[in-house]
Structure 1
C-alpha cells in the first residue's frame, strides 16, 4: 500500500471511529439522569447539551482508540 492510500485508509478509520464513539456516547448518555440538574429537561437546550456531551465523550474515546492503534503499530516495528 502506497503512502497516499495509507493516509486515506487511516482517515477513513479515524472518521468511522469518531462516529462510532459519538453514537456510543449518545446511547450511554440516554441512561444518565441529567434531568435532575436541568430546569427544562425536555427543552432544546437539554437536547443540545446531550449532543455536545456525546461529541466530547465520543471524540475522547475515538482519540484514545486511534492513539492505541498507533502505539500498537509502533510496538510492532520495535520487535520486527
Structure 2
C-alpha cells in the first residue's frame, strides 16, 4: 500500500508542477512577437502553433526539474 501512496504523490507533484510551469511559459511567450515569425498569428493555425510551443517548452522544463529532483533524492543511496 505504501508504494501506491508514493506513486500517487509523485503523480500529483508532476501534474501540479507541470501546470505551474505551463503558466510561467505561457506568460513568458506573451512577449514573443509572432507577427515576425508567422504570417497570420491570430489564425487557428497560428494559435495552435503557439499552444504547441508552450506545451513543448513546458515538457522540457518540467522534465529537467523533476529529473533533477529525482537524482538529488537518489543521492542518499550513495553513502
TM beyond 0.5: yes
Task: Return the TM-score normalized by structure 1.
Answer: 0.88
Deviation per CA, 1:2-48, whole angstroms, max 9, x where unpaired?
Answer: 11101100011011111122221111111111211211122121111
- Which 5+ residue runs of structure 1 have no aligned equivalent? none
SS at match of 2:78: helix
Q: Displaced runs of 4+ in structure 1, greater than 3 A?
A: none
Q: Please give the alpha-carbon distance, in whole angstroms, between the structure 2 residues aligned to 1:56 and 1:72.
A: 24
Aligned positions, number: 79
Task: Return the TM-score normalized by structure 2.
Answer: 0.89
Residue 73 of structure 1 pairs with residue 66 of structure 2:
no
- Structure-1 residue corresponding to 2:25: 25
